[in-house]
């Protein structure tokens, strides 16, 4: 049940289209969209405004982006080659069923159509699962390479909480040469609603936020895309605090986990 009244949701439509609603407002609106066509229409009208605003500043990306996009599209099709045939089959089957229906009965045809529809749904679900697994495998491959190729430039930092036995921890793999890092959190329960965890590098006693993340319900998290310093020297310690979900420019709570960075 939404905490927002119908009128409140309609009042939020403009802000939602602007992307200016809070997480709770956004969630309430999205939960209500299927049952409030007038809300959907309002948002659609305001979204058209934001699109028109954006179109005033059109700025072409480099041709490489287009090439990369089409490469990605082609690669995903190769990984999921049944996608197009499945659609083709969808368009042929109903015709076949009409013929069967002439000879048999409409009831039978409807039953077959239902089965076909269900089978197509199964195929689509398997395709999505396969695409997801392929993407996950690619990601893991990339992460493994990041670690293996680090060699002497790889720094591993073990972050521990007060309870070093049963408490949470983070393993940080930092490839200093390539300025890339991967963090693996474990036994770390998800941050409360509206909150997240933030990783800090301590340089000359001052903390610099390098990553905001949250853990999965099973207490694990694998995260990358750190904002790493150009020069790795001088980072003496890595800390983790709980912060607002958007992160914070400075720590607003005491670190509950940390680890020292050993010089190579």
Partner 1 sequence: MPDVALRPARNDSELVSAMAAGDERAAAAFYDRHASTAMAIAFRLLRERVDAEAVVLEAFMQTWRDAARFDASRGSAVGWLLTITRTRALDHLRASGRESRRTATSLDDVASDQLAAPERSGHPGYDTEQAEQRRAVASAMRTLPDKQRVVIELAYFAGLSQSEIAERLAEPLGTIKTRVRLAMMRLRDALRPFAAESGS
6, 38, 72, 117: which one binds partner 1 (CB under 8 A): 72
Tell me the C-alpha distance between 101 and 83, whole Å. 28
Work out whether 140 is an interface residue with partner 1 (CB under 8 A): no
- Identify which range of 35-43, 109-117, 170-178, 230-238 contacts partner 1 by CB under 8 A: 35-43
Spatial separation of the C-alpha atoms in residues 21 and 39, rounded to whole Å:
15
List 109, 210, 235, 239, residue binding partner 1 (CB under 8 A):
210
| φ, ψ of residue 71 in degrees (nearest 5) | -60, -45
Which helix (H) or strand (E) segment is 195 a member of?
Answer: strand 195-203
Is there binding between residue 203 and partner 1 (CB under 8 A)? no
Lookup result for tokens 């590098």: 201
Of the pair 145, 246, the CB lying nearest partner 1 is at: 246
Q: Which residues is 208 bridged to in the sheet? A: 201
Question: Considering beta carbons, is residue 109 or 243 the nearer one to partner 1?
Answer: 243
Q: Which is nearer to partner 1, 76 or 117 (CB)?
A: 76
Phi-psi region of 205 (alpha: psi -120 to 50; beta: other; left: phi over 0): left
How near is the Cβ of 28 to partner 1 at its closest, in Å?
14
- Report d(CA 181, CA 223) in Å as an integer: 8
Side-chain half-sphere exposure of 66, counting CA atoms within 13 A: 4
CA distances from 172 to 19, 122, 147, 203 (A): 33, 39, 10, 17
Q: Measured from the CB of residue 235, what is the shortest distance to partner 1 in angstroms?
A: 14
Q: Which is nearer to partner 1, 121 or 167 (CB)?
A: 121
- Write out the binding residues for partner 1, residues 39-68 only, by CB under 8 A: 40, 43-62, 64-66, 68
The C-alpha atoms of residue 48 and residue 38 are separated, in whole angstroms, by 15
Asked if 84 is part of the footprint of partner 1 (rule: CB under 8 A), the reply reads yes
From the list 11-19, 93-101, 146-154, 160-168, the region that binds partner 1 by CB under 8 A is 11-19
Residues of this chain that bind partner 1 (CB under 8 A): 11-12, 14-15, 17-22, 33, 37, 40, 43-62, 64-66, 68-70, 72-74, 76-77, 83-84, 87, 124, 131, 208-212, 225-227, 246-247, 249
């Amino acid at each position: 049940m939404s905490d927002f009244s119908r009128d409140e949701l309609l009042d939020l439509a403009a802000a939602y289209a602007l992307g200016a609603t809070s997480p709770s407002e956004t969630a309430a609106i999205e939960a209500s969209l299927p049952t409030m066509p007038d809300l959907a229409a309002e948002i659609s009208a305001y979204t058209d405004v934001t699109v028109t605003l954006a179109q005033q500043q059109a700025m072409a990306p480099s041709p490489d982006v287009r090439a990369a996009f089409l490469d990605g599209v082609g690669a995903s099709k190769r990984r999921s080659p049944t996608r197009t045939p499945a659609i083709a089959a969808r368009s042929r089957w109903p015709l076949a069923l009409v013929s069967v229906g002439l000879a048999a009965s409409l009831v039978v045809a409807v039953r077959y159509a239902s089965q076909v529809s269900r089978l197509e749904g199964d195929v689509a679900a398997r395709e999505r699962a396969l695409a997801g697994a392929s993407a996950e495998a690619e990601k893991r491959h990339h992460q493994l390479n990041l670690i293996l190729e680090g060699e002497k430039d790889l720094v591993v930092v073990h972050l521990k909480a007060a309870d070093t036995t049963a408490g949470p921890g983070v393993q940080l793999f930092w490839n200093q040469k390539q300025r890339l890092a991967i963090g693996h959190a474990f036994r770390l329960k998800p941050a409360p609603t509206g909150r997240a965890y933030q990783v800090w590098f301590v340089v000359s006693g001052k903390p610099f936020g390098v990553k905001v993340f949250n853990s999965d319900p099973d207490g694990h998290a694998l995260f990358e895309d750190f904002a790493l310093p150009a020069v790795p020297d001088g980072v003496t310690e890595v800390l983790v605090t709980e912060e607002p979900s958007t992160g914070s420019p400075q720590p607003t709570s005491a670190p509950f986990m940390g680890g020292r960075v050993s010089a190579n």
